[in-house]
Amino acid sequence: MTDYKELIDAETWAFIEKTNSYYPPDTIDYTIEQQRGVYDRMCREFFAGYPARVAAETTAIETSGHAIPVRIYQKGGEALKALVLYFHGGGFILGGLDSHDDVCAELCGRTGYAVVSVDYRLAPEHRHPAAFDDAMAAFHWVVPHFKVPILLVGDSAGGNLAAAVAHATRAHPHRAVGQLLIYPGLGGDQSKGSYVKHAEAPMLTMRDLIFYKNIRTGGEGRIGDPTIAPLLDRDFANLPPTVIITAECDPLSSDGEAYRDRILAAGGKAVWREEEGLVHGYLRARHTVKRARESFARIAEAVGQLGRSEWAY
C-alpha cells in the first residue's frame, strides 16, 4: 500500500478532509441524482468568485437535436487574442457550468483570453458518444464565431474530451493551436503504473474509475475507440502542442506520461508534469494549498504560451 502520510502534506490533507466532509468517499454508492446534489453543493462551498474585470454570459449552441448550454467569459479592456474551449470534469455524470465557474473565470482573468465552458450532456441519460458529440459541436461553433486561435482545455473527464476533440479535428483548417489536459483520464493500461500504485488514492480510486466508465458506456467495451479513450488511437501525428498536468497521488497519472510519449514518438510537441504530493481534483485547492496554487499558476502560464504559439518546454 502506498503511504500517503509521507507523500501528502498537511495543507493537502486539510483540503482532502474538507472535500470529504461535503463529498464522502462512498458517494458513488448513492443514486445519480443524489451524487449530483452532493457534488454541486461541494463545488459551491469551494467557489472563489471572479477576478476583477471578468464577466460571463450564458447562452446556448443550437444543434439539430438539442441545445448545448455554454458560458462565455471575457475580460474587460482586453483585445480578443485567443479562446479557451473548456470541458469540465465530473466523471461524465457530474458537473456543469456552475461546477467550474470560478476556474474558468480565473483562467480568463490570468490570460486575458476568452473562455467558453461547455455544458455537455451527461450519462447515464446520455451515454457515449453524447458528450463527445457536444464537445465537437462546441468546437465547430467557436471557430467561426470568434475567429481567433482556439485552445482545448479540460480537467479529468473534460481532459478526455479535450484530447478526443484534438484527435478528431487535427485536419481541420482551423485546428486547435494547443491543448492542455489537467489530470485527464485517457484510457491507459490499468494493469500497471499509477493505476496499481495509486488504486486507493484519496479523492479518486480504481473503484470510482470503473464505475464512471460503466455509466458512461452502459458497460460496452468499445475496444479501440479513440473518441472514448484517446490513448487507443493508432495515430498520434499532427496533434497540437500539448501540455499534460497530473497529480502524483492519482490513479490517472500514468496516462499523462503515456500520452506525452505517444505524441513525442510521432514527432509532435508534448510535455508532461506530475505535480508532487497532489491529488485528483486539486484545482479546487488552488487558493488554500501552496502546491495547488503554484500548479494553477503554471497551468495559466502554459495556456497563455500556447495561445501565443510559444513553446517554452
Give me the active site residues, please.
Answer: 156, 250, 280
Residues 6+ apart with CB under 8 A from 191: none
Give CA–CA dist 313/300, Å, rounded: 15
| Residue 227: all three cell numbers together | 473518441
| Residue 83: all three cell numbers together | 479562446
H or E element that contains 45: helix 32-46
Residues 6+ apart with CB under 8 A from 105: 49, 50, 51, 54, 56, 73, 115
Per DSSP, the chain holds a count of helices (H) and strands (E) of 10, 8
Return the sign of the alpha-carbon dihedral for residues 152, 79, 69, 285.
positive
Closest CA to 175 of 119, 112, 225, 238: 238
Give CA–CA dist 184/84, Å, rounded: 17
Give CA–CA dist 179/255, Å, rounded: 15
Owner of C-alpha cell 500517503: 4
List the beta bridge partners of residue 303: none
In 3-state terms, what secondary structure has residue 277?
strand
Give CA–CA dist 228/239, Å, rounded: 17
Owner of C-alpha cell 476533440: 165
* Length of the chain (residues): 313
